[in-house]
Structure 1
Amino acid sequence: MTHTLDHDRRTARRSHRTAGWTTVAGLAVLAGAAVTAYSWRGDLPDRVATHWGIDGTADRFGSLNAALGGLLGVGAVLVLVFGAVTAFLGHSATTRRMGAATTIWAALFTSVLLLGTLHVQRGLADAHSDVDVSGVILLAIVASLLPAVAVGLLVPGDPRQPAVGPVSAEAPRERLSPQEQAAWIGRTEAGPGIAVGIVVVAVTIGLVLFTRMWGMLVVPALLLVSMAAMFSFVVRVDRTGLAVHSALGWPRTRVPLDEVVRADVIQVRPLREFGGWGWRVGRGGRVGIVLRAGAALLVERTGGRSLVVTVPDARTAAGLLNALADRERQAPGPEAGSAAG
């Protein structure tokens, strides 16, 4: 029990530490954007454009304070929400990395969007002048995405946390002889999520064609790359544990055999439990590679972490993983082997 509590405390500290510095960094970015924007007040129209229609024409106007409060207020709420998710659900490094990257992305995107749309209005006497903001939107997407990914990659991974007890006797198992070598390979591919992604890409391309903001073609391009990376995964169970990787090779994740507490089969409803399809974080901080509804492999691991993968024949995968984990823990260690010899 003490060992488990120590793991839980260390996990909580890692989550809170990551959430703390990313939230502070995000709020600092927003504060810097506010200071910069306010320093431009003498160069801006009395009423600045705050919203552009689908045809690229400004259709809403307000004071500089209203513009700052609106966009940066949204950014601050997003930073605090994503920071809280990281703090309370960041049991695994995957969740902490996703939370940290999203927190920084929210701060950078709203800040660049605010400063960019204000910058193109500097020196104008009237905000109703024809101003092109397509380049600003493109810059906000690219300039926020790359640093956010870098921040996510900088978040430390989980330390090794070997299990200290046997796999539950109630967990499913495949029969293995003491020396038998076995492996299981499965593949999970896109279900309804791919249809949703295709519709989003088609709508985005339609908007680009309608507005003639050709630089915005980067958005459907990024969506297509994301779909290719997230909607086909290879799942392998062998003597090293569980390994899951995208058909493109990345993203990938792994659960070492000595960290497997229990593997089982559960029924998954993607929208209700994970908010959608793809590589997701669900209720309780559970990480999911969820491409369709139905049976899924659940791997509970040390440190209060768990991974869900929707894959055909999940019961065989769970049974083999439990059997291999059992055998790994029952094998004599190096010292016992030397004494026997």
Structure 2
Amino acid sequence: MTTAPPPGTPRARSGTEVWRPRARRAMAWSSLVGLLFAVGAAAVVWAWRDELPAQVASHWSGSGEPDGFMAPTTIALVGVATAVGLCVLFAAIGITQGAAASTRRIAAAGCVWSGAFMAAIVVGTLAPQRGLADASQVELAGDTLLAGILLPLVPAGIAAALVPGDPAMPADEPVPDDAPRAPLRDGERAVWLRRATGGPGLAVGAVAVALTTLAAVLTAEWTMLVVPAVLAALFVTMFAFTVRVDAAGLTVRSAARWPGTHVPAGEVVRASVTQVRPFREYGGWGWRTARDGRVGVVLRAGEALLVERSGGRSFAVTVDDAAGAAALLNAMADRARHR
């Protein structure tokens, strides 16, 4: 039989009650910023309406000649509608799966990048057509698309940085008795350290870098070589990680020092070994968020360390000797509760 708490006793908030309001706020302001970029571009197009051809070039063939045309207002509306659709997608991810701050940051950055990307593409493609009577001779410079992809990364990065991190949420229950533990003597120190690298995602990344490099060379669009360079840097950050377990908890950090995460020992509810299926659970490889909100560093299928933490959050990383990491992390979580 349980006894109800005395009147006036504060009720412990569930994990969802802690992170869901944070996710809603982050998605609200980041979506607004993204839409302001897109609407701002539409306003620029409206201001240019008397200087643009009745039908502007909206699509270019592989030879660089335009092969698609539409009214300036239509291309502006398409840009706004696309930005709205992408913002809705990222906001839905943030609100439904944003238990971890990293997911909320990625979703907020996605909202802002989407609006800024569409604004850059719309303005960048129409600016060279101002003052023309016929848009059929306009060539799209390769750096227009490049700028449209890269420049929005600046406001997107700022948006991600503005999203607050997770609040401290020490676990209030002991580590389950059946959780594996490393046998440590009182005062004994221990560190578990492994590298998680490679996997199929790295091969896919190498192919993407090779293909984009080849495309830039064949079209002689040398500025487009920035794309494979950026992809290479991205894959370095996503497919080489250091995984460490010590008295402080679990630390996972990219070889490029970012991205990374830290799970304090005091927030570990239970550490265990799980089997990961990258596409079915996470939709691919790298730093991922699963449908249930679990964050993971997924480089391959198979064995992974799963860390259930306070607030209904969890984190997984595919790494060798996940059992050893789980046992030591549970032991450190026990110690953290008795400090």
* Shared fold, TM over 0.5: yes
Question: 1:300 maps to what in 2?
Answer: 308
Counterpart amino acid of residue 154 in structure 1: L
Among 226, 234, 240, the residue aligned to 2:242: 234
- Structure 2 unmatched ranges of 5 or more: none
Tell me what 2:106 maps to. 98
User: Is the counterpart of residue 321 in structure 1 residue 333 in structure 2?
Assistant: no
**Is the CA contact (8 Å cut-off) linking 1:121 and 1:131 kept in structure 2?**
no
**2:279 is aligned with 1:275:** no
In structure 2, distance between residues paired with 1:327 and 1:284 = 29
Instruction: Give the alignment of 1:255-294 within 5 angstroms.
Output: 255-294=263-302
Letter in 2 for 1:233: F
Q: Distance in 1 between matches of 2:78 and 2:332?
A: 55
Distance, in Å, in 1 between the alignment partners of 2:313 and 2:12 is 12
Equivalent residue in structure 2 for 1:114, among 122, 126, 136? 122
Deviations 1:222-243 (A, max 9, x none): 0011111211111010000001
Shift of 1:213: 1.4
Q: 1:4 to 1:226 in 2, by over 3 A?
A: farther
SS in 1 for 2:62: coil
SS in 2 for 1:197: helix
Cα–Cα, structure 1 residues 57 and 170, in superposed 2: closer, same or farther, change >3 Å? farther
Helix, strand or coil at the partner of 2:129: coil
Equivalents in 2 of 1:55, 1:152: separation in Å? 38
How far, CA to CA, are the matches of 1:296 and 1:4 in structure 2?
A: 31
CA distance 1:4–1:285, shift in 2 (3 Å): farther
Aligned length: 331
Give the distance between the partners of 1:68 and 1:272, measured in 2 at CA: 37
Structure 1: tracts of 5 or more residues without a match: 332-341
Give the aligned residue type for 2:141: V
Is 1:187–1:233's contact at 8 Å kept on the other side of the alignment? yes
Q: CA deviation at 1:139?
A: 1.6
What do you get for the CA RMSD once the two structures are aligned? 1.5
In terms of mean alpha carbon deviation, does 5-14 or 184-193 score higher? Answer: 5-14
What letter corresponds to residue 319 of structure 2 in structure 1?
V
TM-score by length of 1: 0.93
Cα offset for 1:313? Answer: 0.5
Please state which structure has a larger fraction of its residues in helix: 1
d(CA) in 2 for partners of 1:146 and 1:26? Answer: 13
Contact 2:304-2:322 within 8 A present in 1 as well: yes
State TM-score, norm by structure 2: 0.94
Of 72, 82, 104, which aligns to 1:74?
A: 82
Q: Answer whether contact 2:53 2:134 (CA < 8 A) is retained.
A: yes
